[in-house]
């Protein structure tokens, strides 16, 4: 009887492998970084072959570390950096160009043209997304237009496209299986999330031949078996989801209204909205959470650009703290911010403001404001921004929020978590297992092969050992703080010229 599920986490800077047991415990772990390629300012690429080799390396390393062989592993689930585009030759298996990474801005001008030509609304209602260079569609178009001979080969059906999980599944199965899952398809800006098909209109607009595209499958089903050469014998590959959706699943946000927020460099908040897509005109995007158990679950997704990065700024630029962790202790030296607000609009503001010309500001400074107040205000800014996103989601979905499940590096900060509970008047649950993304991929893979029989079995078997943060601020103080925060945000808008 196979004891483990293998999760392969194809991240932006490293690949990781974890072996989980039925209780969701990490029994083996391996990680390997890979090269970031910056050919020009604002351009980011990865070498797809390096992604593949380092993934095989971590998979073997994790297995070897506990002496596991292929028959000990019930299934493999993959979670991945989303939107990153790989195009390769169907016969030789060689990429025709480096992977163009989600962060890469090379197609921004083309996206602006699409917007100026009035395509935004049509694309939003079909794909749930705002037109942006992040998403895969315009990256594929760039490769076809700029790599000599690529378009010709694509038209003859000789090239394949995939996001990173598609590439890895294709390699794991020695080129036998060319698939993606609904969650990843929904980040390409080519997939119609209403009809669940590649959108022929958009493909024509971007000039992308449909023959390149992978078959779109559920996030939890057997795609194929690994080639014997890769891990010593066949293992079922049976789960795939983009990183944020996998983390939503790993946080067991199985029901409509369930929300998770990941506090990393930025914040990613996703809300399960159930079996129908909910659209928002506040810049909260609509996406597919997963296809599982014969059904599709949708999600709303909102992000805060600068969250943990505010703490890095306090450390690296202002030198007010020595480590990110210190922010908790130092902010705790004062009981409030003494009327001071930090608006960390370093790169503009996202949902619900969407002002790329906003810039950071500190307001409300009086003679008594000291560094502890500023550190505290920086932490509060993370919580206020998150609260704005949560409010926009609440409005779009019509759901009453009860609680948020949290993860990510900055969620280790207890003071920040208590601020969030107070400002949002919601209970926060933080699990002891930090690996929610990989866990989500493992759950999806495990469900497909009966390792867990259903979602209830997961809920009962996997104990998340949660710590909770309960709101303790009076409604009067809470709404006064939010009002002041919004006044501070107004001061930061439309600053850059």
* Chain residues in the site for ligand ADP (CB under 6 A): 264-265, 308-309, 311-312, 324-325, 327-328, 408-410, 412-413, 416
Classify 258 as helix, strand or coil.
coil
Residue 264 or 283 with smaller CB distance to ligand ADP = 264
Smallest separation, CB 307 to ligand ADP (Å): 7
Residue 251 or 309 with smaller CB distance to ligand ADP = 309
> What whole-number distance in Å separates Cα of residue 345 and Cα of residue 192?
33
Interstrand relation of 179-181 and 215-217 (parallel, antiparallel or unpaired): parallel
Residue 293 or 409 with smaller CB distance to ligand ADP = 409
> What whole-number distance in Å separates Cα of residue 406 and Cα of residue 215?
33
Smallest separation, CB 36 to ligand ADP (Å): 13
Classify 98 as helix, strand or coil.
coil
Task: Kindly state the helix (H) or strand (E) to which residue 380 belongs, with its residue range.
Answer: helix 371-397
> What whole-number distance in Å separates Cα of residue 190 and Cα of residue 364?
46
Smallest separation, CB 419 to ligand ADP (Å): 11
Smallest separation, CB 98 to ligand ADP (Å): 22
> By the 8 A CB rule, do 279 and 118 touch?
no
Classify 149 as helix, strand or coil.
coil
> By the 8 A CB rule, do 81 and 153 touch?
no
Smallest separation, CB 35 to ligand ADP (Å): 17
Smallest separation, CB 492 to ligand ADP (Å): 20
Q: Which residues contact 174 (CB under 8 A, 6 or more apart)?
A: 227, 229, 230
Residue 188 or 306 with smaller CB distance to ligand ADP = 306
Residue 286 or 385 with smaller CB distance to ligand ADP = 385
Residue 404 or 416 with smaller CB distance to ligand ADP = 416
Residue 188 or 437 with smaller CB distance to ligand ADP = 437
> By the 8 A CB rule, do 138 and 189 touch?
yes
DSSP 85: B
> What whole-number distance in Å separates Cα of residue 112 and Cα of residue 355?
15
Cα dihedral value 455, 461, 462, 468, nearest 10: 90
Smallest separation, CB 46 to ligand ADP (Å): 16
Of residues 45, 49, 13, 215, the one with CA closest to residue 147 = 45
Smallest separation, CB 229 to ligand ADP (Å): 33
Residue 292 or 309 with smaller CB distance to ligand ADP = 309
């Amino acid at each position: 009887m196979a004891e483990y599920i293998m999760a392969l986490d194809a991240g932006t800077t490293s690949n990781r492998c974890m072996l989980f047991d039925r209780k969701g415990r990490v029994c083996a772990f391996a990680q390997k970084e890979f090269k970031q390629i910056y050919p020009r300012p604002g351009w980011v690429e990865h070498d797809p072959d390096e992604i593949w080799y380092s993934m095989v390396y971590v998979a073997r390393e994790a297995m070897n570390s506990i002496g596991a062989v292929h028959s000990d592993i019930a299934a493999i689930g993959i979670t991945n950096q989303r939107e990153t585009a790989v195009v390769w030759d169907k016969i030789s298996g060689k990429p025709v160009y480096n992977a163009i990474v989600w962060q890469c801005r090379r197609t921004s001008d083309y996206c602006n043209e699409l917007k100026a030509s009035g395509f935004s609304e049509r694309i939003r209602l079909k794909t749930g997304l705002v037109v942006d260079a992040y998403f895969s569609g315009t990256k594929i178009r760039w490769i076809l237009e700029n790599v000599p001979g690529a378009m010709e080969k694509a038209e003859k059906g000789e090239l394949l496209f995939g996001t990173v999980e598609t590439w890895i599944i294709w390699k794991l199965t020695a080129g036998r299986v060319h698939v993606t899952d609904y969650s990843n398809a929904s980040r390409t800006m080519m997939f119609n999330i209403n009809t669940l098909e590649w959108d022929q209109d958009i493909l024509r607009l971007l000039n992308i031949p449909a023959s390149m595209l992978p078959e779109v499958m559920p996030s939890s089903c057997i795609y194929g078996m690994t080639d014997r050469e890769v891990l010593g014998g066949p293992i079922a590959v049976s789960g795939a989801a983009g990183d944020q959706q996998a983390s939503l699943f790993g946080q067991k946000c199985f029901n409509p209204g369930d929300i998770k927020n990941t506090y990393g460099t930025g914040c990613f908040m996703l809300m399960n909205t159930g079996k129908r897509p909910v659209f928002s005109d506040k810049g909260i995007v609509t996406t597919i959470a997963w296809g599982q158990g014969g059904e599709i679950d949708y999600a709303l997704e909102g992000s805060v650009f600068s969250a943990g990065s505010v703490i890095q700024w306090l450390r690296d630029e202002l030198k007010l703290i020595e480590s990110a962790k210190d922010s908790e202790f130092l902010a705790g030296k004062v009981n409030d911010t003494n009327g001071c607000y930090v608006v960390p609009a370093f790169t503009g503001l996202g949902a619900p403001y969407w002002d790329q010309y906003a810039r950071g500001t500190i307001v409300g400074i009086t003679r008594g404001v000291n560094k502890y107040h500023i550190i505290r205000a920086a932490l509060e800014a993370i919580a206020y921004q998150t609260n704005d996103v949560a409010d926009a989601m609440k409005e779009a979905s019509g759901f009453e929020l009860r609680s948020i499940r949290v993860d990510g590096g900055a969620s280790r900060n207890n003071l920040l978590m208590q601020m969030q509970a107070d400002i949002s008047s919601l209970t926060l649950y933080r699990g002891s297992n930090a690996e929610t993304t990989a866990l989500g991929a493992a759950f999806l893979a495990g469900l497909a092969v009966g390792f867990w029989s259903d979602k209830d079995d997961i809920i009962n078997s996997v104990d998340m050992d949660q710590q909770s943060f309960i709101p303790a601020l009076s409604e009067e103080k809470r709404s006064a703080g939010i009002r002041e925060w919004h006044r501070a945000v107004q001061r930061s808008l439309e600053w850059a010229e």
